[in-house]
Amino acid sequence: MESSQIIILAIIATSLATFISRFMGALTSKKVSVNSKIFQWFNCVAYSTLAALLGRMIIFPAGVLAESFLFIRIVVLAICIIIFILTKKNLVIPTIFSAALLSFLN
């Protein structure tokens, strides 16, 4: 197969694999009431799965981030969270600062 065909098939496979979870979620949502326990459970699982992904992104990153030092990544994250709390939950300042700080320290 040509490489451009492989890329197109990979885009289709990736998009399908992603949309399945979203669409199943929309279907399940029709049967879940906001006040039910199962909704609470889904809420907890959603937050913890997301947290697991973020923890993994910092400790075992994929892509270019893997070329920075673990210790530096954790320091940058910690400093930015402190800035976020000090600036009364401003998100723009810590995010811009994180890129600058990591580029500088690295």
Among 53, 71, 75, 86, binds another protein (CB under 8 A): 53
| By CB under 8 A, residue 43 contacts another protein | yes
Task: Provide the 8-state DSSP code for 30.
Answer: T
| By CB under 8 A, residue 17 contacts another protein | yes
Distance of closest approach, residue 33 Cβ to another protein, in angstroms: 7
- Both tokens of 13, joined, read 């496979």
Rounded distance between C-alpha atoms, residue 50 and residue 14, angstroms = 19
DSSP H helical segments within the chain, as ranges?
3-29, 37-59, 70-86, 92-105
| By CB under 8 A, residue 23 contacts another protein | yes
| By CB under 8 A, residue 5 contacts another protein | no
Among 2, 28, 75, 86, binds another protein (CB under 8 A): 28
- Degrees, nearest 5: CA angle 6-15-38: 150
Count residues near another protein (CB under 8 A): 79
Residue 80: Cβ within 10 Å count: 20
| By CB under 8 A, residue 71 contacts another protein | no
Distance of closest approach, residue 71 Cβ to another protein, in angstroms: 13
